[in-house]
Structure 1
Amino acid sequence: MKRKLIAAIGVATMIAGVAACGGDKKDDAADGGKKAEAKSITVWLTVDAQNNWPELVKAADDAIIAKHPGLTVKHEYYGWPDKNTKLDAVLATDKAPDVVEMGNSEMVGYMAKGAFAELDPSKFENSATWLDALKASTTYSGKNYGVPYYAGARVATWRKDIAAAAGVTTTPKTYTELTGDLDKIQAKNGDKFSAWYNPSRDWYAALAFVADAGGAIAKDEGGKFTASLSSPESLKGLNAWKDSVAKYMHGDLTKDESDRYIVYGQGKSAMIYGASWEGGSAADPKVDKTGGKLKDNLVSFVMPGPSGKQLPVFLGGSDLAVPVKSKAQDLAAEWINDFTNSKGQLGLIGKGNLPNNKTQLAPLKADPKTEATATAAEVSWFVPTAPGWGAVEKQKTLQDMLQQIATGKKSVEQAAKDADAAIDKVINTP
């Protein structure tokens, strides 16, 4: 599914007076101290739901209306690029929606600002087995402020025809096997070909090597976050990533991952590591420039890491949250549960998504069509849930560090040290 998480979180001016929440006191008095139930709720989702699974939205509406006759569920749909701008504006008023969809990496800044109401995980089906990275994305200072909606994993995808021409007939299971196979593919195709097209500014891929080596972007030390990209563990991961780029990436070293599937469709690379939809999108006749060779030759597999284990993935995906200014928080939470329960997750699986929980992920591992993505999703990492994480993303500190390393402008050690300094300036400031 072609959907890109928008990392920038513009929440600096939206939360004035945000602590005022809950029901109307006049309603309480009129009902003898019992809060009157809202007559309607407003749900904000992205156009993904509107275009790809409207029947699942309707099913959740029908379920809550059956329990609350007369309730009206209103929906508004937004594209990813403009959603947060509109959300920021409305959260500064008394007209906040009751449910809002957030990209998982967008959650941190809003939680830090107090924009979302705390939610009790026990009230949501499958919360005990939520995927690790999605659970982390809804947690701030030990409290839960959202419900995972769905997930998307990152996998390796390569062309079996190119691999076979280089004498490689099976997909690699270890990193040693992977690099050995890529060496053969690179040697066969020459230095104008990328055995692995790996854009240097793709921090989701590069930082997976850091996580694999036991490193982290930043560490929480008693409530204060300290950047740790220059730690020995992080440097080990960054060096492993640098080596792979130097050996197998012979494309533009200043690019990010946004058009990776388009570049892959040009036929000048054997492998990519990215979102699970990218291979299929590259094989689309509108994108494939190889004369149709991609369609029947793409194979996806779990990316092995240098540690000897599978490379931890940054899960793409969405969460659902209840703005603290919602006047119908209980109903909002109930709608979220109706939408994300096991039945709803089965519907999302049918649309090509991964579920929000490990229980329903397990059967997908037995299906050859979903085995790679489901297995990859089990081992994941997430960004620091720090007050200033949004500023780190907005400044593109990680992307700039990686480009400096890949192009040789700075050594790994110097680039990491400089990135740490930049991160430390903003990461603890809401």
Structure 2
Amino acid sequence: MNKRITSVALLGALALTATACSGGGGGTGDGDVSGEGKTLDVWIMQGTNPDAEPFFDDVSAAFKKETGAELNVEFVQWADAHDRFVTSIAGGTTPDVAETGTTWTSEFADAGALAPIGDYVKDAGLDGDLVQGLVDSGTYDGQMYGMPWYAGVRSLVYRSDIFDELGLKAPTTWQELQDDAIAIKQAHPDMLGVAVPGDAEFTVYPWVWGAGGEVATEKDGTWTSELDSDASMKGISFWTGLATEHGLSSAGATTWRETDVLDGFSQGTIGMAVMGSWTPSAIVEKNPEMKGKFAAVPIPGENGGIAPSVLGGSHLSIFETADDKDLAFAFVKLMTTGEFAEKWGAQSGYFPGQTSLLQTSIDSDDPLVVPFAKQMVDGGASVPVTPTFGAVQAKKTTSAMMQSILSGQKDVKTAATDAAKEMTSVLNGGQ
């Protein structure tokens, strides 16, 4: 069974069908909820929205007006969050509601820590208006545990001023991307034609998928990594070859994370890079002189079209320890629909998880919004939806593969074979 979910071009086809993900939950999502005298404890990840504290001041006031309940929001660093969740789950000290990263939701659901919310979503009339990729990653064993909140996707960001200078067009195929990178490097030897980072897992998978490969597939409960398939290795070879064969990246990028790519692009030393929809504002914030000098385009497939890109983001999940799950869902609904969902997206640079709100982004004429919106709708994909994928990420299986190739320690076939073997083991509960 193929577990990669790719969004389709028509927005209407993104809608979740009620039968697929209902089930569970108290089913009072559309009624009035009284929370007089109660306090709802919420964990929100820190750093996604620079204006999070004043934002939640407004949310707290609205929640108090709507339900009578107080809101106690605690901001948690992403780097510390997973360990905190694991510890709190073991000790029964979880919050009522928390932001859960899309690769964590199934893990926490599998641990029995999350409350199913499908009935709440259905009764609130929201089950036909949610971004499918976020629904899929928030669904485990037929039950919905994560309410889509916001999403981001990576596309190809490029120096439009350099492209104009050299008479280049945004690439639509792999060959065009390579040719553009060579032209940039020849004209500007001090600039990377394209950044190929070694420690940036989600920048690898578009090339695997773009070649027709898969990260991993599941059959009869058993997962198999396909990073070593001919198609996957073709994509990995192209991506790493831009650095190892053509010298268009740099040896230093072997250890780069996405934050390093952001820094380099902001400093004006990178011609093209796979970057997130949340990064354009960060680029200008880091270097105001970059304003108007860069653009974005969906990641090209090998011979045209759009290569799928990981649809990341966050859910809001209700924990089983919540005393009043009706009140908890009232908060979840307030956050993920309407005014506050739109405001969060505008402030953070992410897309909302509600398809009706996403339409605004799709209809935008902002050249730094439209390509990412198109990537999300026509080419947003999910990593394997399984509780054990977090363990794969923790072992840095894909990054280790990339670094071994970029450093010259292994060829693509050896590195991909080793990575596939490790990923398959971990996905099926091994070490």
Q: TM-score range by the shorter chain?
A: 0.7 to 0.9
Question: How far is 1:412 from its partner?
Answer: 1.6
Q: 2-side partners of 1:232 and 1:141: how far apart?
A: 31
Give the one of 323, 341, 345 matched to 1:345: 341
Q: Report the 3-state secondary structure (helix = DSSP H, G, I; strand = E; otherwise coil) of the residue aligned with 2:321.
A: coil
Counterpart of 1:181 in 2: which secondary structure?
helix
1:276 deviates by 2.7
Alignment of 1:377-388 (within 5 A): 377-378=376-377, 379-388=379-388
Choose which of 65, 74, 77 in structure 2 pairs with 1:76.
Answer: 74
How far does residue 332 in structure 1 lie from its aligned partner after superposition?
A: 1.0
Q: Distance in 1 between matches of 2:424 and 2:201?
A: 18
Give a deviation string over 1:370-429, Cα, whole Å, max 9, x none: 212211211212221223222211111110011122233222221111111112222122
- Aligned residue pairs total 389
SS in 2 for 1:309: coil
Report the residue type matching 2:305 in the other structure. K
* Partner SS, residue 228 of structure 2: coil
Give the 3-state SS of the residue equivalent to 1:383 in structure 2. coil
User: Which residue of structure 2 lines up, in the alignment, with residue 416 of structure 1?
Assistant: 416
Task: State the alpha-carbon separation in 2 of the partners of residues 114 and 214 from structure 1.
Answer: 35
Q: Following TM superposition, by how much is the alpha carbon of 1:135 offset from its aligned partner in structure 2, in angstroms?
A: 1.8
Deviations 1:24-73, CA, capped at 9 Å, x for gaps: xxxxxxxxxxxx9983321221234785245654555455545544x333
Indicate whether 1:182 and 2:178 are aligned.
Answer: no
1:107 counterpart (105, 108, 115) = 105
TM-fit CA distance, 1:274 = 0.9
AA aligned opposite 2:355: K
Unaligned regions of 5+ residues in structure 2, if any? 1-24, 27-34
Distance 1:227 1:88, change over 3 A: same
Aligned to 1:221: 219
Alignment of 1:236-275 (within 5 A): 236-246=234-244, 247=246, 248-252=248-252, 253-275=254-276
The 1-side partners of 2:227 and 2:374 are apart by: 27
Task: Give CA-to-partner distance per residue, 1:311-362, whole Å, 9 cap, x none.
Answer: 2121332111111222222221221012111333222233232111333222
1:28-427 map, 5 Å: 39-48=38-47, 51-54=50-53, 56-58=55-57, 60-62=59-61, 64-66=63-65, 68-69=67-68, 71-120=69-118, 121-123=121-123, 126-168=126-168, 170-190=169-189, 193-246=191-244, 247=246, 248-252=248-252, 253-284=254-285, 287-288=286-287, 293-351=289-347, 352-369=349-366, 370-378=369-377, 379-427=379-427
In structure 2, distance between residues paired with 1:49 and 1:125: 28
Distance 1:55 1:294 in 2: 28
Q: Give CA deviations for 1:250-285 in whole Å, capped at 9, x if unaligned.
A: 34123232321112233332112111343443344x
The secondary structure found in structure 2 opposite 1:269 is coil
Q: Distance in 2 between matches of 1:224 and 1:183?
A: 43
Give 1 or 2 for the bigger CA radius of gyration: 1
The structural deviation recorded for 1:146 is: 0.9
Q: Secondary structure at the match of 2:314?
A: strand
CA–CA distance in 2 between the matches of 1:61 and 1:297? 39
Name the structure 1 match of 2:3.
none
In the alignment, the residues of structure 2 paired with residue 371 and residue 265 of structure 1 have an alpha-carbon distance, to the nearest angstrom, of 21
Residues in 1 aligned to 2:114 and 2:108: alpha-carbon distance in whole angstroms: 7
1:88-114 CA-partner distances (Å, limit 9, x unpaired): 333233443110112222323222222
Q: Is the 8 A contact 2:134 2:353 kept in 1?
A: yes
1:61–1:335 Cα contact (<8 Å) kept: no
Instruction: Measure the CA separation in 2 of the matches of 1:257 and 1:48.
Output: 15
What is the SS of the residue equivalent to 1:297?
A: coil
CA contact (8 A) 1:405 1:415 kept: yes
Q: Structure 1: any 5+ residue segments left out of the alignment? A: 1-21, 24-35
1:16-35 to 2 correspondence within 5 Å?
none
Indicate the SS of the match to 2:204: helix
Aligned CA distance change for structure 1 residues 195 and 341 (closer, same or farther; 3 Å): same
